[in-house]
Structure formats: C-alpha cells, structure tokens
Amino acid sequence: MRDVYVIGTGITKFSRLEYPLVEIAAYPAIMAMKDCGLSKVDHVYVANMGGSRLNHQTSLASALIDHLSLYPSGADSIENGPASGASAIKEGYQAIASGMHDVVMVVGAERMREANNLEATDFVASLAHPLAEQIYGVTLPSLAGMFTRLYMKKYGVTSRHLAMVAIKNHTNALKNPFAHLHAPITMDGIMDGPDAMNNNPMIADPLRFFDMCPVSDGGACIILASAEVAKKIKRPKIRLAGIGQATDTHCVHEREDPTDLLAVKEAARRCFQMAKIKPKDVDVAELHDAFTILEIVESEEVGFFKKGEGHLALESGYTALNGKLPINTSGGLKAKGHPVGATGVGQAHEIVTQLRGEAGERQVKNAKTGFTCNFGGFGNNVVTLTFVKE
Amino acid sequence: MRDVYVIGTGITKFSRLEYPLVEIAAYPAIMAMKDCGLSKVDHVYVANMGGSRLNHQTSLASALIDHLSLYPSGADSIENGPASGASAIKEGYQAIASGMHDVVMVVGAERMREANNLEATDFVASLAHPLAEQIYGVTLPSLAGMFTRLYMKKYGVTSRHLAMVAIKNHTNALKNPFAHLHAPITMDGIMDGPDAMNNNPMIADPLRFFDMCPVSDGGACIILASAEVAKKIKRPKIRLAGIGQATDTHCVHEREDPTDLLAVKEAARRCFQMAKIKPKDVDVAELHDAFTILEIVESEEVGFFKKGEGHLALESGYTALNGKLPINTSGGLKAKGHPVGATGVGQAHEIVTQLRGEAGERQVKNAKTGFTCNFGGFGNNVVTLTFVKE
C-alpha cells in the first residue's frame, strides 16, 4: 500500500448556517485547496447523512464538483450515519493507497437547520433497527439514557462525572473559533447552584440538557495525497497512518453486555495495529461525545484507560487541555457541535491542526500522534483514525 | 495495484417487492455468498439512494451487517444517484486493490414502492440542481424529453428508433427471470396499430410511456476478491479490469452542446484505458437506458458507434441479442427495471453472468469482455466498468 498524507484542511464554523448545503460543503473545500495550493483534485468524497431527507438533495458529491468546477473528476457520497466522515476519509485513503488516484478531497457536510428538534431526533433515529427499535419509539437520547444508567450502576460513574465532560469540552470550545457553543459552564451553574436544575433540565434520565450535543450545521474538508505529491506541498507532513472500522449488533439490547462497546474496541485495535502504535503513544484525541457518557466509555474501549476507570482519569484532569492526554481539544461534539455527516472530517481537521502546531490557544505541546473515534449508530459501526507527524 | 476478481453474484427479481429494504439487500447477498461458498467477508458496501427519504432508514450498510451476522466487518453506504451501484463496486475494487481487504461484498438495494409515482419522480429529481433546476419543476423525464427533441433534430433519430430500443429490451427481458417487465411489445402495439396511442401515451414530449423505465424495487450483489482468494473459488475467473468515472456540469443547460454526454465519453475512455482494451473488443454491454434515447446516445459516446449513428446500428440489428454487439441482454433498465441504487450492481451481475456463460436463453456466444455504463444525474456523474473472462 502507498502511504497517504493530509496536505490540506478546511472547516466552517459549526453553527446554524444560513447558506445552502452545497455551499456548506464548498466553503471548507475551497479553504483546504488554498491551504495546500492545489486547484485540482483527482476525486471527491462527500460524507453526508441527511441531504435527501432534510434538504431535498441527493448526489451531493456531484453538486459539489459542479459548484467548484472540478469536472471531470469523479465524486461519490458516503453515508455511515454519524460516522460518515471517517468512512469517507477511509475511502479517500484506499483510493490513493491503491494507486487509483494521487489527490483526493474528502468533505463532510450537513445542514440540519431545516429540521426542527423533534424531526432532527426522528431523523437520527432512522439509524436504529426499524422493527426492533424504531417502532417502539427508541431514539438516540433514549438509548444513551439507558446505557448511562447501566454504566453508572456497574462502574460508579455519577451525574457529576458526566457534567465534568461537558464543562471540560465547553471550556476547550471557548478556544476554538469554529465551535458551535461558546458558552462557559460551571459545576455550580449546571449541577450545584440554585438555578442548576432549571439551567440543565432532565432530558432522558439520567441524561440532562448539558449531556447532549447540539444540533449543528457545518462542513469540514481534508485533502489527501500520495507521498510524491505531499513532498511538494510546503505544509507539515501529517501521515494518515492507521484506519480501523468495526461493527456490532444493530440493537443495543442484543449485546451480551450492553455496557461494552465492542465495535469501538475492535476498530481501535485494528487502527493501532495498522499504525504500529499503542494507545499510550497517542498525544491528543478526538472522541465522539454525542452524549457525555460516550467520551468516558470510548476513552476506555480504545485502550487509553482500563474499563471502568475513564471517569477517574477525567476527574483527575488527565484528559484536560493541560493534562497528559487531552481529549476533545476542539470542544468535541458536545460544544464544537455535531453536524452528523461532517463530524468525522471535523475530528480529523482538529487532529491535523494540533499535529501541525496550529491550534493556537488550545495547542497541545509536542503533539506528534493523534487519534479520532467516529461512532456510528449506537456503536454499531465505528471508524477510528490515527495521524502521525513525520 | 492488486488484481480484483468477481467471485460471487446474486440478484432479486426486480419488481414490486413485499419485504423490507434490508431484506432486499440481504437476499442477493446470501445468494452471492452461496455462489462462491464463503460465509465471511472483510467489508461490505451498500449502494442505495432512497433509504433515508423513502424507507425511513439510514445506515443501511450497518443494518445489513446485522441482518447477515457479519460483524465485526466494516460497512458503508455509497450514494451517487442512479450510478450508486457502479460507484460502490469501484469502492470495493479500491479496498482490495489497495491491500486493505481481500474479500468485499458489494450490494445495491432499493425499495421504491413506499413512494407513489409522483413522489418517486420528485425523489429522483432531488439529484437535479436545487436552485437552477428543481425550483422550476425540472424532473428527469422532462430533461430527457428536451434532450431527445434536440437529438432528433440534430441526428435524425425518430420516435420509431426509440420504440425499437423498448421492443428490443422488452424482448430480451422475456428471457431474464429476474426482469421486472415480462411484457412482449411490438411496433404495431405501441406505435402503428389502432390502439397504439392509448397503449403508449405521451409522457414528456417526445417521450412516450414505453420510453420510460419502470419504478422498481430490487437488489443485486457481487462479491469481489483478490487473485489469491479468487484462485481457490471454483467459479469462472472474471476480472474487474477497468473502472472509469467522470463528471459534467450539474445543469444540462450549461453544457456547450447539450446533446453531448461528455461524462459518458470520458468515463468510458478512462475505463478502456485502464482495462487496456478498445470499444471494439467489447462482446456484450449493459447501458443505462432509464429513457430509451439514452441507450442510443451512450452507445455512441462510449465509442461503440460514431456520434449520430447509434440509431442506425440499432435499426440494423447490430445491438440485438443475436447481433454483433448485444446491448442490454438483461432487458436493461427499460424492462429489467431500475431500482435506482441497485441498478449498477444489477448491470454487473448481468455481465458476469454472460461472461460465465450462465445466461441461459439470453446467452451471448463466446462473450469474453463485457462493459457497463451506469449514468448518474442527467449525465453529470457516470461510472463505467469493464469485466474480462480469463
């Protein structure tokens, strides 16, 4: 296999965006082309989950080609639920590693503002099992609520640990100009003070308002290239060194132990094996905290901490921006936002920015190896990536 | 790049199917696994266009993994409008050629029966340009009608030539048990006889009822493998020898000459170049006749005939089942059916069946090299494939 490098990146602010879906895709693409100085690419992948239903638009990848005048380059849309972004990066990797292409653009884009909150919840629930989950009213927040309750009981995680994830990630987001939420929160404000329960109402017991990511619009882009092309680009050399993908049962209730996220574990194992590194070699990571509990559990399943000890590492400050292994320096899905199809590409954008040493106020010192975990379904299709600075 | 072979195939009848989308995907997958005798694959790609909007289901690839108990293998859904199927095959090719995987399942599946005819038309129109086509009421039949009118004027194609495509493909479909329409039609019945205009009313002038493909449900599957795996499978050796993809402007009206399908031309050129063959080496082809005019024009753009002479070749019987270059032996989209996401995989299924010599009554003698053209948008994203019997 040929080596594959990230040569360009771009991102929109994750927010409520006024412009059409194709422009949400085009903006970070143009930014990434400027970043590496190329005006042509061999192929384009677009990660998107909701275009057909929410925006009345299919074939988004073809639309983007037109918007950027990139024809006759080929283009395809990739969908793997909320893990669409990392899946699209993997397709880009394979296109270059195989020798089919030398330069591939990978864009993630989502415009969810067309949907009100109820419809957005229903839309995301369309990834659940139609006959065993959807028809009984299962939503992602309800699955996350039940999962959290089991996890609390088994491992001693408390609501205060969940709040610590939210506070850490909101604090990190204050240093990220592209983050959706620039709202400092405190334990007093969301858990302890007199207004805490008003500020932070129960949504899906035991998960409260601040345990949920926002519904965001947004786009992100990375441009991948062969070693030969990459060496001509005057940007830091960041290699996409490992990719792991794994699946699990569609229904959470069919898992032998529903508190295990086996697809996360296996995807990480495959990724580290391919990159020839160990979890302890990772300097900075973006984990998929669509719900606060997920950051804690993923930090265990990928191998950063022992099972049941993720909340203790969090509590000790190990995963804070100035800790030993900063997690979600971007603000994570919790505060940076979660435009579903764009999220995985956004995670890669953050890691590449960190490895390049261009993360400004939120820069992790001497970050050489970065990791992302992009979580599809309720953990039934997970894609992990490892990036290494050379 | 490593060589890639087709080791297994499966297909449902293209029809109005009673069972859920995931089962439409699962049925041909099981058939293909039986065909090659494997019970595991490294990765799954699912081509689908309408799951989110028409079937309230996203992450179809993950659902298929669960349905077939294939976890922890990874899976992704691929969307490129009506060319989703061939795009998914290309992803499968790259996954193996790169060395990431050895055995990859590629499924195409669509369940359009949830939509009535009006909604199906609107759904497919969601691939058109939102601001320059969709809002003015452009649909695919209306684009095809305008395109046909220009083509008639410029090249002398008549309504009778269009009817010849329909009659040929309906005749071929009678010999394909998996075809949607088993309805013999004649020039008398749809053009000349006293009931012809009742049988074949005008839909999008000059296109009549029998110039349109039906709205179909259906699924198809091919399993791809490395040479090392393929040599252990006791099935004819069919190599996926060439892939070409190309794009054109989103809006048909922006093309310098709207009667040119430049993406078809470029995709075919790239495909033949990769396969190291010429158009004249092709023994059997499946072209994307969603509208009868498209079979004629594609047969020219891919290089089988000179521009403006496709209808003459058709008229002479050159493209009939017993002609020099049989086109759409399966019945084509016109009579086999067009379950949009499944179509490209269905085309590959037909070509592999022909090259294996297993096409029964519709078998093309000594077919060694086959070609498919899968047409996305109104020709703005086209994927072509070449298969060679070794």
* pLDDT tens digits for range A176-222: 999 999 999 999 999 999 999 999 999 999 999 999 999 999 999 99
Asked if A22 lies within 8 A of B130 by C-beta distance, the reply is yes
Smallest CA–CA distance from A265 into chain B, residue: B72
Which candidate, A110, A108, A132, places its Cα nearest to that of A123?
Answer: A110
Joined together, the tokens standing for residue A327 give: 């997690």
With a cut of 50, which residues of chain B have pLDDT below it?
none
Query: DSSP letters along A268-304, please?
Result: HHHHHHHHT--GGG-SEEE---SBHHHHHHHHHHTTS
pLDDT at residue A117 tops 90: no
- A361 band by pLDDT with thresholds 50, 70 and 90: very high
Q: Is B241 helix (H, G, I), strand (E, B) or coil?
A: strand
Counting other chains too, the contacts that B122-127 makes at CB distance below 8 Å and 24 or more residues apart are B123/A52, B123/A58, B123/B50, B123/B53, B123/B54, B124/B82, B124/B340, B126/A52, B126/A56, B126/A57, B126/A58, B126/A59, B126/B53, B127/A57, B127/A58, B127/A59, B127/A62, B127/B81, B127/B82, B127/B376, B127/B377
Chain A interface includes B192 (CB < 8 A): no
- Tokens 């790049």 — which residue? B1
Is A376:A127 a contact under the CB 8 Å cutoff? yes
Residue in A67, A123, A246 closest to B74 by CB: A246
Classify residue B44 as left (phi > 0), alpha (psi -120 to 50) or beta.
beta
CA A278, A281, A286, A287 torsion: positive or negative? positive
pLDDT tens for A159-182 read: 999 999 999 999 999 999 999 999
Domains and CATH numbers, chain B: 4-115+215-230 (3.40.47.10)
Interface mutation vs chain A, best among B54, B55, B66, most A CBs within 10 Å: B66
- Extended strands (E) in chain A: 4-11, 43-47, 74-79, 103-110, 202-204, 207-208, 218-226, 238-247, 284-286, 369-376, 381-389
Task: Look at the pTM and tell me if it is higher than 0.95.
Answer: yes
Mean pLDDT, chain A, whole residue set: 97
Smallest CA–CA distance from B56 into chain A, residue: A126
Joined together, the tokens standing for residue B155 give: 């090249």
β-bridge partners, B208: B202
Q: Distance between alpha carbon A114 and the CA centroid of its chain, in Å?
A: 21
The torsion angles phi and psi of A375, rounded to 5 degrees, stand at: -110, 110
pLDDT tens for A15-61 read: 999 999 999 999 999 999 999 999 999 999 999 999 999 999 999 99
Distance in angstroms (rounded) separating the CA atoms of residues B70 and B233: 20
Is B376:A62 a contact under the CB 8 Å cutoff? yes
Distance in angstroms (rounded) separating the CA atoms of residues A140 and A55: 21
CA B236, B242, B243, B247 torsion: positive or negative? negative
- Residues from chain A that touch B65, judged by Cβ atoms under 8 A, are 247, 250, 380-381
Residue in B58, B129, B263 closest to A126 by CB: B58
pLDDT above 90: percentage of residues in chain A: 98
Is A331:A318 a contact under the CB 8 Å cutoff? no
- Residues from chain A that touch B49, judged by Cβ atoms under 8 A, are 52, 58
Chain A interface includes B109 (CB < 8 A): no
pLDDT at residue A116 tops 90: no
The torsion angles phi and psi of B48, rounded to 5 degrees, stand at: -160, 145
- Residues from chain A that touch B383, judged by Cβ atoms under 8 A, are 74
What per-residue confidence (pLDDT) applies to A118?
A: 82
What per-residue confidence (pLDDT) applies to B118?
A: 82
